[in-house]
Structure 1
Amino acid sequence: MAALMLLASAAAGKDIGPQSQASHEQVEKLVGLWKDHFAGADGLQQRRTAFRALMETTPGPTRIQVRQVDAELMWPARLHHPIGHRVILYIHGGGFSGGSIRTHSLLAGSLAKATSSDVLLIEYRLMPDYTYPAQINDALTAYRWLLDNGYRSENVIVAGDDAGGNIAIETVLRQKQAAKPLPTAVIALSPITDLAATGGSMTVNADSDPLVGSASIEALRKAYLGNRSPTDPQASPLYADMTGFPPLLLQVGSGEVLLDDTLRLADKARQAGVDVTTEIWPGMPHQWQLFPSLLDDADRSSQNIAEFAIRHFEDKPEE
């Protein structure tokens, strides 16, 4: 597995380097907190509640303007904004059934400050009350709302983590299929790209990933898709035609069961001519970017996200 401990990129990229002892100890503390909160949380509703409780222990964003907006969704949307010309549409993770504006507000605020851009964080419909494709439809509505409200596609980035990464990619694929303006770039953090769970890391990393497993992906698939095939490219982007897709940043932890969801999508996208940057972070657990108060590497990875975003916005922030 040593070869997987470095950032791999066909274009721009930085060497992440080995995990430090301090980083390892920080991860152990986070994993312990995660296990404490998720102990006995077996169903979708229980896991949603456990995730919310965990994230309520983290600080909220500071020194950032936040307001509720009507993005033509059934649920609220929150705009973190210091500037007003560039925007990141951020789609929170949570296995299609959890996560919220609150759970991802710190990351959204951090990205807004680091990129001098707005960040639109949306509440989309969740399982079990709503199944595929409600989540993707809500994200697509939000993206098109941005274009209808003064943001040019050259200054829009679509991003997400976990299931939100899946939704982000599928949103852009639908926009591409409709031959409508695409965002300038896409960012996906440990995305679920293969709901069939066929990646080798599902087995190889089963013991090293304390947060996600093949059984949990299978449970999500059944609840989310019902009888729909998990290899349908409209639901699992690994099986989609990536030709013409915008530049793509992928981040994943080296020990995640979703590692191959990232690596195989990156390979397929590159073969289709997409500009892909893939970062494999040593020792990082799933969704580590949400915990800058506990992990130094959360700050580092978020800075890489911000630098990627700034490179791809047409209108650059003022120095």
Structure 2
Amino acid sequence: MTNAGSTTTQIRPVPVSASIPSRLAAMVTSVTLRPLTSALPLNARGVWASRQLIAGFMSTLGPPLRGTKVVQVRSGAVRGEWVAAPGVEFGDRAVYYIHGSGYVICSARTHRGLASRLSRATGLPVFLTDYRLAPEHPFPAAADDIEAGYRWLLERGFLASDLVVAGDSAGGHLALDLMIENVRTATPQPAACVMFSPLVDLSFRLSADQERVRPDPMITAQGARELVALYTAGHDAEHTRLTLKLPAGSNLPPILVQAGEVEMLSADARYLQQTVRAAGGSCDLEIWPGQMHVFQALSLLVPEANHAVARAAHFITTSLEQTATLTERRVS
């Protein structure tokens, strides 16, 4: 059995203001990373350079915990890796993690550090899926791979009620798509879902409106739109798996959304909460003061990163325990 932590642990609230290092990090990023991401062309060389740039950024500022166990998975269409922090054992519960970066840039390797810290905080192993990337593999490759990974976990004996889905940025969009597909196919939903800086609106109209209020330190709305277009090119923008409409009464698990105050996707986070609640679901939203996009992954740069992961872990373990209690009551 895995040690999934305890819900009795005292969890600190979201801070009312950003730390000085976080503010400095956003300022430095806005004059370094943002110009670079804007200047790189979206051709083969530009995509390659962007992947190297972000991989270096993530590995330097959010490396895996020392002693983290990594087990590679290649099973048919499913690719990824199990990530377990030191002392975490493999058991009957797990986190299914979906990385982001516009369907184009990141990988399981870039998010191994975040996965290791989420594993430590929850006491659970994390299956970090390594879905196919655009432009080599356009829509719906990523969405199909995410669905295949979830089904693979169920086929390996995990109960849906013992799984939590988590993701960041485009991974949030893919997580929501997975849950909608679960409704459509009558597949059991996970116990909960956690999203860091989720991308919801692929038109980036919400982001552009937010950008007029405050520029995102990492990328422009136009730049992000062009990046995601490498995945969606040639497809109707109103395709149901791109717009992700939630019918009223959709059977969704409880959702926690964390977003940074200074990122443009804070608008998507607010919209997602409104949409889920309008459909009858439960969605908690945390807007972290002064934080930028997926700050949870930058533990060596942003002091609040581990704090946010701890809050997400508390939500995960609480949700799993509540689901287990409900299951026991039904059985008895």
TM-score of the alignment, normalized to the shorter chain, above 0.5: yes
2:71 aligns to what?
67
Mark the CA change 1:30 to 1:106 in structure 2 (over 3 Å): closer, same or farther: farther
Mark the CA change 1:312 to 1:17 in structure 2 (over 3 Å): closer, same or farther: same
Residues 270-293 of structure 1 show CA distances to partners (whole Å, capped at 9, x for unaligned) of 122211110101111112111101
1:175 aligns to what?
182
CA distance in 1, matches of 2:75, 2:218: 32
Q: Contact 1:163/1:192 (CA < 8 Å) preserved in 2?
A: yes
Q: Contact 1:91/1:165 (CA < 8 Å) preserved in 2?
A: yes
CA shift at 1:27, angstroms? Answer: 3.5
2:242 to 235, 245, 255: 235
2:209 to 203, 206, 214: 203
Aligned positions of 1:74-153 closer than 5 A: 76-81=79-84, 82-83=88-89, 84-153=91-160
Aligned positions of 1:1-319 closer than 5 A: 14-31=13-30, 34-35=33-34, 38=37, 40-43=39-42, 44-58=47-61, 59-73=63-77, 76-81=79-84, 82-83=88-89, 84-199=91-206, 201-206=207-212, 207-237=214-244, 239-241=245-247, 243-314=250-321
Three-state SS of the structure 2 residue aligned to 1:70 is: strand
Compute the TM-score of the two structures, normalised by the length of structure 2: 0.84
Mark the CA change 1:222 to 1:25 in structure 2 (over 3 Å): closer, same or farther: closer
1:3 aligns to what?
none
CA distance in 2, matches of 1:190, 1:231: 22
CA distance in 1, matches of 2:38, 2:57: 12
Residues 239-260 of structure 1 show CA distances to partners (whole Å, capped at 9, x for unaligned) of 3326211101111111211122
Three-state SS of the structure 1 residue aligned to 2:115 is: helix
CA shift at 1:218, angstroms? Answer: 2.4
Q: Contact 1:72/1:142 (CA < 8 Å) preserved in 2?
A: no
CA shift at 1:30, angstroms? Answer: 5.0
Three-state SS of the structure 1 residue aligned to 2:300 is: coil
CA shift at 1:13, angstroms? Answer: 10
CA shift at 1:113, angstroms? Answer: 1.2
Q: Contact 1:233/1:240 (CA < 8 Å) preserved in 2?
A: no
CA distance in 1, matches of 2:127, 2:191: 16
Three-state SS of the structure 2 residue aligned to 1:217 is: helix
CA shift at 1:235, angstroms? Answer: 1.3
Mark the CA change 1:147 to 1:173 in structure 2 (over 3 Å): closer, same or farther: same
Three-state SS of the structure 2 residue aligned to 1:313 is: helix
CA shift at 1:192, angstroms? Answer: 1.2
Compute the TM-score of the two structures, normalised by the length of structure 1: 0.87
Q: Contact 2:80/2:130 (CA < 8 Å) preserved in 1?
A: yes
Q: Contact 1:85/1:117 (CA < 8 Å) preserved in 2?
A: no
CA distance in 2, matches of 1:244, 1:85: 23
Tell me the percent identity: 28
2:8 aligns to what?
none
Greater helix percent: which structure?
2
Aligned residues: 302
CA shift at 1:224, angstroms? Answer: 1.7
Higher deviation after alignment, 129-138 or 214-223: 214-223
Q: Which runs of 5+ in 1 are unaligned?
A: 1-11
Higher deviation after alignment, 56-65 or 130-139: 56-65
Q: Which runs of 5+ in 2 are unaligned?
A: 1-10, 326-332
